[in-house]
A and B are shown apart, each in its own frame.
Chain A
Amino acid sequence: MQEALRFRLSEAEPLGRAEIIEQARSRRRGRRIASRGLSLTIRGLRKSFGDNEVLRGIDLHIPAGQSVAIVGRSGCGKSTLLRLIAGLETATAGSIDFGEAARTEDIRVMFQEPRLLPWARVLSNVEVGLGRDRASPDAQARAESALTEVGLDDKRAQWPAVLSGGQKQRVALARALVSHPRVLAFDEPLGALDALTRISMQRLLERVWHDQGFTAILVTHDVAEAVALADRVLVIEDGRIAHDIDVDIPRPRRRGSAELAALEGSILKSLLQGTEDTSDL
């Protein structure tokens, strides 16, 4: 009762933008307990396309709420692994288990391309992310708060065509976040962005991951990005997990610090081992 009263009072007051954002954020933090990440257990996972055996037995356990980066040479099967986790491909053998029964809304993917509907305004694009809840009466409010989360609430009525590449990716992120997923898989989501936009997007990803507590799986070409963002880095080679490296550097991590650089160097070295051709890493 008092809670409700206070809520109404605070709504009656004219709020500043920063306060609204803070409020939305703290409301979400409250929800964090309810929608914690899912753990993920993969056993003996294999995937072939015809004669081409891409994944040759992946065994992996990801605890709930962990953020994991997957690196590896081009064509080693990173995207394939991610698509298997997201249920977009069917495995040839092996199993993927989420600990408890996961709904489709619990697992979301973000790709390198934003994949926004050009004929839908930004807000409707975010509403698409609600899945089966699209028709619910609070759909619009939820989409708006997801847009606020990524700092684009002022672009809600725009067409995607007028947004910059980074802004489009942020809309795609809002769309992925709006259903409060418990596993969020990223396939090189920042691959097409310029260096500065990348850094601010990395901060944003780190913040939403911290706020919402989902399990994050990030495929990236950029080893520096992997060590800056993830709790753990997996290196895939020959269809298997060749290295499994814990990144226990405390957050917030300072970009360019000696610790990160040293770790990045050692991962790069293990990636390059036994390969002459380094150009397509």
Chain B
Amino acid sequence: MSLIESLPRVRSLRMPRADGLIAWIVPLVIILIWQVACVTGFVSARVLPAPSDVALAGWKLLLSGELVRNIWVSFWRASVGFLIGGSIGFAFGLANGLSQLSSRLTDTTLQMVRNIPHLALIPLVILWFGIDESAKLFLVALGVFFPIYLNTLHGIRTVDPHLIEMGRIYGMTDGELFRRVIFPGALPSIFVGLRFALGIMWLTLIVAETIAASSGLGYMAMQAREFMLIDVVVLSILIYALLGKLADSASRALERLTLSWHPAFQKH
């Protein structure tokens, strides 16, 4: 039997609570193997510290307050940069999706700028802003802008024209048409942009913080490298992974909440 055929049965068997736990089996097994490999000396502590050592380093940093401060700084930069870039991207996506004039005026320019890798601007950004907060915010906002812009635009342009005509026939005003037809129709695509943007947000921040910062997780990792504290370096990487996962889960939850009408999100 093919996998597809066996899927529905697997679904009906699973328990709702076990579902969340099952995803953690593989990471836990990896950590376990890692620990055993380090304790038995199969892997040298100078190459990779044992998970227990990493946890210990984390605990020390937590007690000193350094960890919380750095996480908070990174989190703040990520969210503020995301909000700025995301809302500008969303606004341009809406404007260019809804207005021919606006689209003809700005779309070509934006498509051109899109082809410049935003991380290539780092030297320029450092010249402009120094290693100030604004440098990081600028880079994150720029990185987040494009996926949100492109997917909002795409979502609005691909709303079923039959539905728009239906809305007009039934006397919807422009505002109602947007609220009841265009925006909900574009939402799945906007969420795709959102999740892309979240990935780019962390990536940009890591790079920006390792190159030009005096606080934050990336800075913490760079400092640790200079003092050969490999456990702290590994700790920073793990925290990035966790934060990325957290952002992704949050956007998924939001998606499930707002797209409950979508066949892909319906419970069977």
Complex CA distance for A196 and B162, rounded to whole angstroms: 27
Q: Which residues of B contact A111 (CB under 8 A)?
A: 162
Contact with A along B51-91 (1 / 0, CB 8 A): 00000000000000000000000000000000000000000
Tell whether B9 is near chain A: CB-to-CB under 8 Å. Answer: no
How many Å from the CB of A249 to the closest CB on chain B?
33
Taking a contact as CB atoms under 8 Å apart, the answer to whether B169 and A88 are in contact is yes
Instruction: Please report the total number of A residues contacting B with Cβ < 8 Å.
Output: 22
Q: Which residues of A contact B167 (CB under 8 A)?
A: 128
Q: Contacts A111-B162, A159-B266, A161-B266: A118 and B261 contacting too (C-beta < 8 A)?
A: yes
Taking a contact as CB atoms under 8 Å apart, the answer to whether B266 and A115 are in contact is no
Q: Which residues of A contact B163 (CB under 8 A)?
A: 115, 117
Taking a contact as CB atoms under 8 Å apart, the answer to whether B181 and A117 are in contact is yes
> A128 contacts which of B165, B170, B259 (Cβ < 8 Å)?
B170
Contact with A along B158-192 (1 / 0, CB 8 A): 00001101110111100000001100110100000
Contact with B along A87-100 (1 / 0, CB 8 A): 01000000000000
> B184 contacts which of A109, A117, A161 (Cβ < 8 Å)?
A117
How many Å from the CB of A116 to the closest CB on chain B?
9
Q: Which residues of A contact B262 (CB under 8 A)?
A: 118-119, 161
Q: Which residues of B contact A108 (CB under 8 A)?
A: 169
Interface residues of A in 99-114 (CB under 8 A from B): 104-105, 108-109, 111, 113
Leading 7 A-B pairs by shortest Cβ distance: A131-B171, A119-B184, A115-B166, A119-B261, A161-B263, A159-B261, A115-B162
Interface residues of A (CB under 8 A from B): 86, 88, 104-105, 108-109, 111, 113, 115, 117-120, 128-129, 131-132, 159-162, 175
Starting from the known contacts A119-B259, A119-B261, A175-B170, 6 additional A-B residue pairs (CB-CB under 8 Å) come to A104-B171, A105-B171, A118-B261, A129-B170, A131-B171, A159-B266
